[in-house]
Amino acid sequence: MFSHVHIIDDDTTTVFLLRMLMQRIGFSETITSSENGSVALSFLAEQTRSGQIPQLIFLDINMPVMNGWEFLEHCQSLHNGSLTIPPIVVLSSTVDPADERMARKSPHVVAFLNKPLTREHLSDLLASFGKNHQHNS
């Protein structure tokens, strides 16, 4: 189980369903969200200062204000002592393989998954990345 994951997605239904699924399978103790990349960057800056950085981010591509591509670009330029970027799972409803190639160019992206996320997707992520982030009670 992760202690904290963050969802960046403007679709409130997607966020709600993803939270429910995560809670149902015990994916993360804390689940936070931002409605776009700009809000998420501010959140990550605040979390970096407090030392409470999420262990995994779920990032939608298509959002208003700052989309997923712009968020990844900002992560590249801001990744230094003032901002810690956790591993990112890009979420997409696209079937264009170019999107996956583009996402994987970012050193922060650890997975590219098509929406809707399933229990199997989350179980695979937990098996792959959660073992490094086990929370001991």
- Domain covering 7-133, topology: Rossmann fold (3.40.50)
Q: Strand pairing of 88-92 and 28-34?
A: unpaired
- Helix, strand or coil, per DSSP, at residue 66: coil
Instruction: Give residue limits of the domains in the chain.
Output: 7-133
Model pLDDT for residues 43-95, shown as the tens digit of each residue:
998 998 898 999 999 999 999 999 999 999 988 776 665 677 899 999 988 87
CA atoms within 13 A on the CB side of 97: 0
pTM score over 0.85: yes
Q: Which helix (H) or strand (E) holds 28?
A: strand 28-34
CA atoms within 13 A on the CB side of 21: 15
Question: Residue 135: is its pLDDT beyond 50?
Answer: no
In sign, the C-alpha dihedral spanning 15, 20, 74, 83 is positive
